[in-house]
Structure 1
Amino acid sequence: MRVVFMGTPDFAVPSLEALAAACDVALVLTRPDAVRGRGRALVPSPVKARALELGLGVLEAARVTPEVMEALRAAAPDVICVAAYGCILPDEVLGLAPAGCVNVHASLLPRWRGAAPIQRSILAGDAETGVSIMRIGHGVDTGAFCAQASTPVGEKSAEELTSELARMGAELLVETLPAVMDGTAEWVEQDEALVTHAAKIEKSELALDPADAARDNALRVQASGDTAPARCVVAGRGVRVCAARTTAPGPVAGEVSVARGRVLLGCADGALELARVKPDGKREMDASAWAAGLRGDGIRWERV
């Protein structure tokens, strides 16, 4: 089975690895190297880096140009597999491979179509989420799906859940491809009445707020990451909260309790107990170590 794979971030790497082990990956398409880090150096996408390690041919493209289309035709794929590539595919690509284009999507469709399904499922307090193997169509994640797998969300961080779903998606993809190829896959059209949309997370959405419930603030911490961190201001200084949990009782909303190495932020109901923090300009540390620098009575916290 000849496959063209399209993907870019860490989420897509397990799918690439699984395909490389089970199929003939004729070409890997990924987005171009991006400027990252304090040194502002060009860094390859995780998919490009892994594809080169596997000895696979790589083509970088932010969109499908005539030159890219020529390379895709030359690869002569039986099927095109996509996982978080980050580009809308034109009809010419969708109709290129005999078995079409299938996508690994990190949600239980039709719930959470869009760019940030994992973070949205956490913020919404979903009990479970999962992955779907779907056809790529003209809309955003609107295609029919032929396989799904689920997992409890629990207290998993966005990073932990992303890694788990990436592995699940890779396994489900290679399990499903034979049925996609021979036409025996059973495709289920999405129920439009059940659709929810997973818009990109804005940094302001993850700002912690003493006026909100402790659980809402805890979910923001759980859903946060490097691109959209959960932040607040404690004793006049900015801090990123990397890990936390709800607890009760606690101080009143807006007040901070520091005792025996524990740091509690008072919320509208109960408190948020901090476990790991990253004060502005400093390294990440245990909240108990950070608490040693919080002195005095009447310490308060507020939204950034």
Structure 2
Amino acid sequence: MTKKPSSRRKKSISSAISDSELPFKRANSGISSQENVDSAAISVEVVEIEELSKQEESDRNLLERKVERAFFEAGKALMELRDRRLYRSTHKTFEDYCRDRFGHSRQKSNYLIAAADVYENLTTICCQNFGIDDLTTNSSQILPTSEGQVRPMTKLEPQEQWEVWQTAVEVAGGKVPSGRVVKDVIEQIMERTQVPNTYQLGEVCQILVKDNPELRGKGGCWGIVSAVNEFSCTLRAWNGEYTIGLQHLKSYNYLPAECEQMQVICDRISQVYSDSLEETVKSLLQLLGKVNRPYLTVVEEKLLSVLESEYV
């Protein structure tokens, strides 16, 4: 099939402009140049749009999908670098590695990793719902193009992510929605399906990570509820306070007397803890901060007493 070459042509459009319509009139009648302009020529450039061949259309779709998937590929790569500790030959921590190698914080890396999970969930559910084997050449499905667009969805379950994304695409008029639009959709859904926060002050809860990178390292830790918010609770844990969404909390359902006992243990651990402690001491405190019973064993009590005598 011979492609029709693009062509450009210029059309001259003449229109009569009366003397009264001129932006100004020459005040000096002694000037010999023409004082009245009878007409003006406006040059308009018309460009004919060239159709793409089927192969070119396919190539365009493929390249567009590669651009869209850029943040997804980055997140998956960062996840593997972190999990396999491939930074260990040059850096002690993943945070230092990300800062030196990519110029951004570990939080930014965590955002990309979490966004990659959301993108993967969306594409998986999309393929299941529409019977599509490969989305890389399918231009009919609207998918995220940046990490910021999916950041508000990282704490949702996969099916919830899909429902929120489809609604956000509709709100955006069939185009890729911004992160602000996605966040607004989530807030509207939460308002319609609001579940009251039933946690109480002093209640002992366990922290659940559930693929939330912001809670990495805190999974299994227990804490005392110090503030009850609309969709979250503030927990006092062994190494500080954290505000955590309800979906990442699980009550131990301890009796009031048991909650009081855990409050005492939490206070004792908090008095010992500081950022300057040796790693072995921090590790011991973290183990105490993960006990899943409302008391300390005899050995645990002795160890904590030794630390109190040494650091308090």
Q: What range is the shorter-chain TM-score in?
A: under 0.3
Mark the structure with the bigger radius of gyration: 2
- TM, length-normalised to structure 1: 0.27
Q: Which has the higher helix share?
A: 2
Higher relative contact order (CA 8 A, sep 6+): 1
Q: Which has the higher strand share?
A: 1
- TM, length-normalised to structure 2: 0.27
